[in-house]
Amino acid sequence: MNQQTEQLSCQELVELVTDYFEGALPADEHARFEAHAKRCQGCGVYLEQMRTTIRLLGRLPADELPAGAERELLEAFRGWHSS
Amino acid sequence: MCRLEALRYSRAVAVVGSAEAQLVDALRAGDEAAFAQLVREYQPSLVRVARIYVSTQAAAEEVAAETWLAVLNGIGRFEGRSSLRTWIFRILTNIAKTRAQRDGRTLPFSALQDPGRVPEAALDADRFLDPEHPRWPGHWAVRPEPWPEDAVIAAETQGRLAEAIDALPPTQRAVISLRDIEGWSSEEVRNALELSETNQRVLLHRARSKVRRALESYLGEET
């Protein structure tokens, strides 16, 4: 384990994943994050699973609107429009 | 790709501006199809965001319905200083807060404005070795195992994913839904929910970490 991985533990890394994805880590921490993820198998898998999670969420169909709800809102719209 | 989706993916401000302006004009003219499209696109998100403030699904739906009326009544005065989406969600937030107050519900200010106050780890501490471990401090004790790709793409996994979202606290559910399911930018989510940059990230992180954990426990059973 080199010094870079010593500075950032796996336990710390999992808490920085979103900051990393969002580009919110300061440059030095960003570099330490990547250095750790590259040499640590467990963290590599963890990162991949977070990416997979986000990818799967992006494929979830957006909630369908119940037909009744849409009808009611459109009726309200007609009421508004004719008033 | 529907019109609102086009808005989401387009980075060209002029194009966004004109598509939105057309939509606003259509609404002002009483175009029912334009209104129906807007309702289909935003109603589920409106209800989800309203649930942050009010305690029941029924109350959230009432808040959303009230929001649509306020949108229609106010569209004549909409000046396009914010995006239509941001404007609609501001209206929703105000109505939801008023409703929560009327219902005597203490607003979840801490959940929105100070989510970091109560620590919440992405994983249980026992997944890691002791921080004082002489050789491997804070290293994995139980490493995550790669997920089998065929299980990842299976339809049941989508069901588990939806369940995991439903199980989240309302603020986390709203943030992850808007960001990862609806594809909003962090700035749009911050504007709609009146969140600071840090708090938006904290809520997103907690939500994603929990959803990953739910998938891990499900997909782990499969192997």
- For A1-56, the pLDDT digits (tens) are 444 445 799 999 999 999 999 999 999 999 999 999 999 999 999 999 999 999 99
Q: What is the pLDDT along chain B (223 residues), one digit of tens a residue?
A: 455 555 444 444 445 578 888 999 999 998 999 999 999 989 999 999 999 999 899 999 999 999 999 999 999 999 888 889 989 999 999 999 999 988 887 766 566 777 877 789 999 999 999 989 998 999 999 999 999 999 999 999 999 999 999 999 999 999 999 999 989 999 999 988 889 999 999 999 999 999 999 999 999 864 4
For residues B128 and B91, state if they share a domain: no
Query: Domain A3-82 adopts which CATH fold?
Result: Arc Repressor Mutant, subunit A (1.10.10)
* Chain B from 99 to 138: CB within 8 A of any A CB: 121-123, 125, 127-128, 131, 136-138
pLDDT of residue B108: 61
Q: Which residues of B touch A24 (CB under 8 A)?
A: 197, 201
pLDDT of amino acid A81: 76
Domain boundary among B47, B75, B102: B102
Rounded to an integer, what distance in angstroms lies between the CA atom of residue B46 and that of residue B59?
Answer: 12
What is the structure's pLDDT at B9? 47
Tell if the CB–CB gap between A17 and B44 is shorter than 8 Å: no
Residues of chain B found within 8 Å of residue A53, distances taken between Cβ atoms: 208, 211-212, 215
Total structural domains within chain B: 2
pLDDT recorded at residue A40:
96
Whether residues B128 and B187 share a domain: the answer is yes
CATH of the domain at B187: 1.10.10.10
Residue B39 sits in the same domain as residue B76: yes
B215 part of contact set with chain A, CB < 8 Å = yes
Give the CATH number of the domain where residue B72 resides: 1.10.1740.10
Query: Cα angle vertex A34, ends A30, A40, to 5°?
Result: 140
DSSP string, B12-55: -HHHHHHHHHHHHHHHHTT-HHHHHHHHHHHHHHHHHHHHHHSS
The b-or-e profile of B91-117 (16+ CB within 10 A means b, else e) is bbbebbbebbeeeeeeeeeebbeebee
Task: Give the minimum alpha-carbon distance from A83 to chain B in angstroms, rounded to a whole number.
Answer: 11
Q: Do residues B67 and B17 share a domain?
A: yes
Among B180, B143, B187, residue whose Cα is nearest residue B164: B180
Residues B138 and B95 placed together within one structural domain of the fold: no
Residues B125 and B54 in one domain: no
Domain boundary among B102, B126, B144: B102
Residues A54, B180: C-beta atoms closer than 8 Å:
yes
pTM score over 0.90: no
> Does one domain contain both B87 and B127?
no
- B211–chain A Cβ distance below 8 A for any pair: yes
ipTM of this model? 0.86
Q: Are residues B57 and B21 in the same domain?
A: yes
B207 and B128 fall within a common domain: yes
Other Cβ atoms less than 10 A from the Cβ of B142: the count is: 12
Rounded to 10 degrees, what is the CA torsion of B215, B216, B219, B220?
Answer: -160
Flag if B138 and A65 touch (Cβ within 8 Å): no
- B31: domain range? 3-102
Bridge partners, residue B128, by sequence = B140
Nearest by CB: A57 against B127, B152, B161: B161
DSSP conformation letters of A20-42: HHTT-S-HHHHHHHHHHHHH-HH
Sequence ranges of the domains in chain A? 3-82
Confidence class for position A69, pLDDT limits 50, 70, 90: confident
- Measured CA to CA, the distance from residue B173 to residue B127 in angstroms comes to 25
Do B97 and B114 sit in the same domain of this protein?
no
- Other CB atoms within 10 Å distance of the CB of residue B6: 12
Our CA-based measurement puts residue B155 at a distance from the nearest CA of chain A, in whole angstroms, of: 10
Domain boundary among B102, B135, B154: B102
